[in-house]
Amino acid sequence: MSVDIIVRGYHLDIYQHVNNGRYLEFLEESRWDFLGRHCLVEQFQERNLAIVVANININYRKPAVFGDVLRVTTSISAIGNKSFKFCQEVWRTENGEPKDLVIDAILTFCLLDNASQTTVAISGDVRAILESLLEIGE
104 is catalytic: no
Dist. CA 56–CA 8, nearest whole Å? 24
Single out the catalytic residue among 13, 33, 68, 100: 13
* Complete DSSP assignment for 43-76: HHHHTTEEEEEEEEEEEE-S---TT-EEEEEEEE
Q: Mark residue 28 as left, alpha or beta (left: phi above 0; alpha: psi -120 to 50; beta: remaining).
A: alpha
**In Å, how far from its chain's centre is CA 95?**
24
β-sheet bridge partners, residue 71? 4, 91
Q: What's the start-to-end Cα distance of the chain, in Å?
A: 5
Indicate the SS3 state at residue 30.
helix
Active site residues: 13
